[in-house]
Chains A and B, each alone.
Chain A
């Protein structure tokens, strides 16, 4: 066999020259792509801040809406509605998602696990308005009224796959040896999962939960069919009236969930199409608040993730 060098058959210099040109071209192209990706975000943020920032005032957070066309008023009803529905959604979705994620960790290859993964992926890909329609059909139609309860349920359905799959990913990042270490000490599976794997994955799971909440807060479409909207939704009023009529805590809570409710994105959507200048301005203010919330939660979540990485890998 001839022992000729590969360098007798290639022109290293021209190869390197071509490579460097290609490198420069691709680097500028990717740099350009970064710009293209960043510009819309910056643009939207700046635009919303300019348009909405100036209409932020105390009344916005403290008052119910003023009558149509009248100046003043706020969106307290939407803030409280969002809080009630997202809380309900979180209380339902987060424990379910964590239990599901633990199942996927403990029995990753059973047909149930494959089914769970497949269905959460499908659920995550389902248009949210379809989920809203589903909530309308099985809750609103059956109960014969719109409610914060129905809104909370559809938001839970939307949150579930987001939190479940991110929790699964985070749990998978925990080295198997760690779990095995606990099992080898005679720890039952639930104990190892709860005491060793969960704490190790906690930061990441919290991040996933926060992103799930941000997603639920921003949803509009599914609430159209379920929570409907309610200009007079005010928890304080419900509680005060309940106390006046000597109702039990359960009854009062039931009232809070049974009424139709508003939500920030829902209010934004409705106000933006009204002919009154006051309302349009408030729509911008709501957009500003939502934007701040979504950005804030994302930045917080990412900062936590970065912190966790630094802690784990030095």
Chain B
């Protein structure tokens, strides 16, 4: 187990991430079972604060399962069970007595398919704020605007905040979902293949957005697209499926290193496109 305030040195490269960072989350010997089936096994992984961590790997290797274990979304799946611990600021989020609602407030999520609620753009963003008990209209307006600006959507919707969130284009919908997630100021944002349903232009916008978002938030992203992992992330974890169909961690490291100088043959094969 790594100390909670582990500090890594990232080899200097094109990415400005080459700085010391604190551990925000720590995945510690985590296995997830769906009933008798073990989906991922014994994964150890740090998530550094204000950095982008990417999970890559072939289909079915448990990337999404691992991601969803970071804010206990797997709790919603009947028969799902987790062994090991996931620390958030040094505290196990699976410890008895933990408030799952509070954990999800602190660890927000953006999904694969944009899922705006069937209500106005404004109400979509205000949704989480109202949950927190915010009533004051002026403050609400302010935070909605700030969140939409941060998600690079404000210019497109400011004249018509009353339009339905579902009337937006796919890329705009996803940015609305990001605005909705950041409105409640989570500490960590999980993104589950956030661009896989989007066209290349919208994808680029979201990737740019991730770069600015990491100044304020810690980001964990699952992606099918290795170029995307290389473009947006500071650290990459490569997962693969073992013979027993359980996902396991093959290699983890600073993205630059993992992509330019992989330690494992399997990683090299995958990133050079020889399998997967």
Contacts and interface: CB of A to CB of B under 8 A. Distances in A.
Question: Do A and B actually bind?
Answer: yes
A15 B142 contact: no
Given A15-B133, A16-B99, A19-B101, A7 B185 contact: yes
Contact of B143 (A6, A14, A19): A6
Given A16-B99, A19-B101, A6 B145 contact: no
Interface residues of B, number: 17
B139 interface: yes
A11 interface: yes
Contact of B142 (A2, A10, A12): A2
B145 A1 contact: yes
Interface string B128-168: 01001110100100110110000000000000000000000
Contacts of A4: 139
Contact of A6 (B34, B99, B102, B139): B139
B183 interface: yes
Contacts of A111: none
B184 interface: yes
Contacts of B142: 1-2
8 contacts: A1-B145, A4-B139, A5-B185, A9-B134, A9-B139, A16-B99, A16-B102, A314-B34
Nearest to A15: B133
B101 A6 contact: no
A30 interface: no
A1 B183 CA distance: 15
A117 to B, nearest CB: 23
Nearest to B133: A15
B41 to A, nearest CB: 18
Interface in A230-282: none
Nearest to A9: B139
Nearest to B183: A6
B81 to A, nearest CB: 16
By secondary structure, the A interface counts as loop
Nearest to B146: A1
Interface in B99-138: 99, 101-102, 129, 132-134, 136
Interface in B250-276: none
Contacts of A19: 101
A15 B34 CA distance: 34
A9 B102 CA distance: 17
B146 A11 contact: no
A3 interface: yes
Interface of A: 1-7, 9-12, 14-16, 19, 314
A132 to B, nearest CB: 43
A3 B182 CA distance: 13
A12 B105 CA distance: 11
B181 to A, nearest CB: 13
Contacts of A6: 129, 132, 134, 139, 143, 183-185
Nearest to A7: B185
Contacts of A1: 142, 145-146
Nearest to A5: B185
Given A6-B139, A10-B133, A19-B101, 20 more contacts: A1-B145, A2-B142, A5-B185, A6-B129, A6-B132, A6-B134, A6-B143, A6-B183, A6-B184, A6-B185, A7-B185, A9-B136, A9-B139, A10-B134, A14-B133, A15-B132, A15-B133, A16-B99, A16-B102, A314-B34
A96 to B, nearest CB: 36
A12 B132 contact: yes
Contacts of A3: 146
A244 to B, nearest CB: 63
Contacts of A14: 133
A14 B183 CA distance: 20
A4 B101 CA distance: 23
A11 B133 contact: yes
A155 to B, nearest CB: 39
Nearest to A3: B146
A298 to B, nearest CB: 22
B276 to A, nearest CB: 22
Most buried by B among A5, A10, A11: A10
Contacts of B139: 4, 6, 9
Contacts of A9: 134, 136, 139
A18 to B, nearest CB: 8
A6 B134 CA distance: 8
B132 A10 contact: yes
Contacts of A314: 34
Nearest to B149: A1
A177 to B, nearest CB: 16
